Amino acid sequence: MNFRAIKGMNDILPGEIERWQAFERAFRDTVELFGYREARTPIVEPTSLFVRSIGEATDIVEKEMYSFERHDDALTLRPEGTAGVIRAFVEHHIDQKEPVTRWYYLGPMFRGERPARGRYRQFYQVGCELIGDAGPASDAEMIDMVVRFFERIGIGQLEVVVNSLGGPSTRPRYRQALVEHLTPRAEKLSEDSQRRLKTNPLRILDSKDPRDIEAMQGAPSVIDVLEGDDLEHWHGLLRHLEHLGTPFRPDPLLVRGLDYYRRTLFEIRTSAGQVGAQNAIGGGGRYDGLVAELGGPDLPSIGFALGIERILLAMSEAPAARKPVCFVAPIGQRASMEALVLARELRERGIVVDVDTRGASLRAMLRRANGLSAPVCLVLGDAEVESGQVQLKDLEGHGQSTLPRAEIVAQVVARLQGAGGTAG
Ligand code: HAM
């Protein structure tokens, strides 16, 4: 019987994982500079949490959730991170400890979408949630942070699309205006959009179907129906982004597939690298109202998430540098024991050490050392242990020398660190 990973779920193995780790490090470094702290929440949450927050009439809730029952509880593998993070925020009364909370998270998410390049059923996100600040300055700071992060990791050809959905009163008004525009054209809409016209007409805005795009010609723009504080917030956001010099493009057709959004929405796209059709590498928006909806105080919030797989597709393929390995090849039983002590001393100095404890022939061990691209191999036989010496083979320069055991650690450190070694 051959077992295979589930369709749309991938193994990420050594060789590839280094790029993930470098990405995650860069993300942590960036967002921590902005005061975000990591929160880890369970991968499984009550199904009702996602229905309540993401919304009943969304694609995610209608057809993509991995849901199951256990011990009479209806559970779901999280399709996104915001719902669980806000559930934790409310559950632990974090608002009573601080007026503004900045949390980040990373981990797997699950959506039963049709798998394609850049679209998976288990995929990984990094994300941030900022709770307790209603002003457009925080929206602009967040969008700018995302753009600077992409610059830092070297993703070009970025497009930052922003829109506003207004507040609770705008959505029904805009929905009404849209329905009035589309109802006379309903027969020309795609089958999906004919259904959406009844359940979630805003979703028709980002349909890629040419029939829907045609029917949307001349439709009212959401920005036209913004009023009062919502309109002020939108203008405030644009002013802040311009002042920061953040590149962006307002797009009144931007809607996103989650119902909790209010006011600011944004999405980051790129045409770089191998990203292809799944070019949305991140998205987010304001979700004032969700904290209260989940039983907490009425606090404004904004957040975003980035898809790691898509970003790595957009980045150059260059593998992340690996720290050089010092290979240790013991021959004989005493040498084998002594090799473990020597390896410990080297690791205490920050050197990556691979000791070959198989009891293999020198030839076989050297083959492995070459396979690991180890610049240095230390050979010690029982005779060397007896005489307090170690043989150092330079696998790049092909030289070799016999050195006193007492000097060997310093020698290896000098060679590998000199080669840019421990910086990794
Ligand atoms: P989202 O737009 O659904 O937003 O997902 C964010 C990002 O996750 C997408 O831009 C994409 O890069 C990646 N992504 C989504 N689905 C897949 C998939 N099937 N395969 C690979 N990558 C995928 C959210 O999830 C919101 N929670 C963001 C947010 C946080 N809004 C406020 N706070």
Average pLDDT over residues 170-187: 90
Query: Does the CB atom of residue 314 touch ligand 1 within 6 A?
Result: no
For all residues of the chain together, what is the average pLDDT? 93
User: Is 283's C-beta closer than 6 angstroms to any atom of ligand 1?
Assistant: yes
User: What's the rounded Cα separation, in Å, for the pair 246 and 276?
Assistant: 24
Give 86 Cα–ligand 1 centroid separation in angstroms: 16
Torsion sign across C-alpha atoms 372, 373, 374, 380: positive
The number of CA neighbours under 13 Å toward the Cβ of 72 is 0
Give the closest residue (by CA) to ligand 1 atom 20. 119
Domains in the chain, ordered, with CATH? Answer: 17-169+227-314 (3.30.930.10), 325-417 (3.40.50.800)
Q: How many helices and strands (H and E) does the chain possess?
A: 16, 16
Hey, which of 45, 109, 155 would you mutate to test ligand 1's pocket, going by the most ligand atoms within 8 Å of its Cβ? Answer: 109
Indicate if the pLDDT at residue 423 is higher than 60. Answer: no
- What is the C-alpha separation between 322 and 348, in angstroms, rounded? 18
- Which residues are registered as beta bridge partners of 325? 352
Find out whether the beta carbon of 206 lies less than 6 Å from any atom of ligand 1. no
Tell me if 59 sits within 8 A of 71, measured CB to CB. no
List pLDDT tens digits, range 256-304.
888 899 999 999 999 988 888 889 999 999 999 999 999 999 999 999 9
Nearest CA residue ID for atom 14, ligand 1 = 307
255 CA to centre of ligand 1 in angstroms: 13
Please tell me the distance between residue 206's alpha carbon and the centre of ligand 1 in angstroms.
Answer: 15
pLDDT single digits (tens) 228-247: 999 999 999 999 999 999 99
Ligand 1 centroid to residue 127 C-alpha, Å: 9
293 close to 53: Cβ distance less than 8 angstroms: yes
Question: Does 80 sit in the ligand 1 pocket, CB within 6 Å?
Answer: yes
Question: What are the beta bridge partners of residue 285?
Answer: 265, 303
The pLDDT score that the predictor gives to residue 380 is 95
pLDDT tens-digit readout, 101-149 = 999 999 999 999 999 999 999 999 999 999 999 999 999 999 999 999 9
Query: Token pair of 16, please?
Result: 């590839």
Question: How many C-beta neighbours within 10 Å does residue 321 have?
Answer: 11
Ligand 1 closest atom vs CA 257: 3
- CB count, 10 Å around CB of 216? 19
Tokens 């990094």 correspond to what residue? 126
pLDDT of 208 reads 83
From 327, 320, 324, select the one nearest 418 (Cα to Cα).
324
How much distance in Å is there from the Cα of 60 to the middle of ligand 1? Answer: 11
Residues 149-161: pLDDT tens digits? 999 999 989 999 9
* Cα–ligand 1 centroid distance for 17 (angstroms): 21
Q: In angstroms, what is the span from residue 181 Cα to ligand 1's centroid? A: 30
113 Cβ below 6 A of ligand 1: yes
Which is it for strands 73-77 and 44-46: parallel, antiparallel or unpaired?
A: antiparallel
Residue with the nearest Cα to atom 33 of ligand 1?
A: 303
Question: In angstroms, what CA-CA distances link 330 with 360, 372, 381?
Answer: 9, 17, 6
pLDDT value of residue 327: 97
The verdict on the CB of residue 127 being under 6 Å from ligand 1 is yes
Q: Is the CB of 330 under 6 A from ligand 1?
A: no
CA distance 76 to 220: 37
The whole-number pLDDT of residue 321 equals 75
Coil vs helix vs strand at 264? strand
pTM: 0.90
Which token pair is 15?
A: 């060789």
Please tell me the residue having the least CA distance from ligand 1 atom 15: 307
For residue 118, report the distance from its CA to the centre of ligand 1, in Å: 11
For the chain, percent of residues with pLDDT exceeding 90: 82
Any ligand 1 atom below 6 A from CB of 130 = no
Q: Which residue has the tokens 């850049």?
A: 118
